[in-house]
Amino acid sequence: TGQHRVPRGATRLLAPVGDPEKLICVGLNYRDHCQEQGLKVPKEPLIFSKFPSAITGPFDDIVHPQDSTEVDWEVELAAVIGKRGRHIKESVAMEHVVGFTVANDVSARDWQMRRNGRQWLLGKTFDTFCPLGPAIVTKEAVKDVHNLWIRCSVNGHLMQDSSTLHLVFGVPALIAWVSRFVTLVPGDILLTGTPAGVGVFRKPPVFLQPGDEVQCEIEELGTICNRVV
């Protein structure tokens, strides 16, 4: 009705989903991100995960861990599951999505790429390594989720500037693939990958430091902005 509004400045927005059963991620899912690494485009989705405890609010701080010197940014489109399913057909996969939001798949590259046997989990799942928000935009309100610009800036400098047109595997294909292995339930979050422009593949590499500010935005979905502390 518009009669019961709270001033934005007087509120703290939390993550739109704070404790999902599953937080599923996809690697190498933008063609330009594969190109910047000199890697071939995958023939099958590359799936990994973050623990739900990594989730933090859209404007909360990212805590730079003492155990890493290579903390990086990754703006990502996130799909939120709204309907339970297993062995979901790609043709009906969008019926299992309630909406979309913006995520930052913060990554400790030293732990991801060299330590812990080069298993990705620990480097991806430090506390606060998944800022999420600012809201879930229902799928009906998004004209074409596979044609949205997606950007990330660090301290006002544009680092990632791409489009979801460049996804290797779209949302329906990812849902169909993941549901071959696990049952998807309402509230599960699927991060769909990041485009080119991450810090580790820059020459020279660039990594986040305390005091930096990271802004991730996706057309029609909104903006999240997080300070590194």
Answer whether 36's CB lies under 8 Å from 74's CB. Answer: no
**Rg over CA atoms, the chain:** 17
Answer whether 35's CB lies under 8 Å from 109's CB. Answer: no
Domain residue spans in the chain? 14-228
- Give the separation between CA 120 and CA 209, rounded to whole angstroms: 21
**CA nearest 184: which of 81, 79, 44?**
81
- 133 has pLDDT over 90: yes
Alpha helix (H) ranges present in 138-206?
A: 171-178
- Residues of the chain above pLDDT 70, percent: 100
Residue 3 has what pLDDT?
85
Phi and psi at residue 149, to the nearest 5°: -75, 150
Which tokens in the block code for residue 100? 């979309």
Q: How far is CA 181 from CA 24, 138, 174, in A?
A: 12, 26, 12
10 φ/ψ sector (left φ>0, alpha ψ -120 to 50, else beta): alpha
Q: pTM for the whole thing?
A: 0.95
Give the tens place of pLDDT for each residue, 178-217.
999 999 999 999 999 999 999 999 999 999 999 999 999 9
Under the banding of pLDDT at 50, 70 and 90, the label for residue 6 is confident
CATH number of 14-228: 3.90.850.10
Give the tens place of pLDDT for each residue, 84-127.
999 999 999 999 999 999 999 999 999 999 999 889 999 999 99
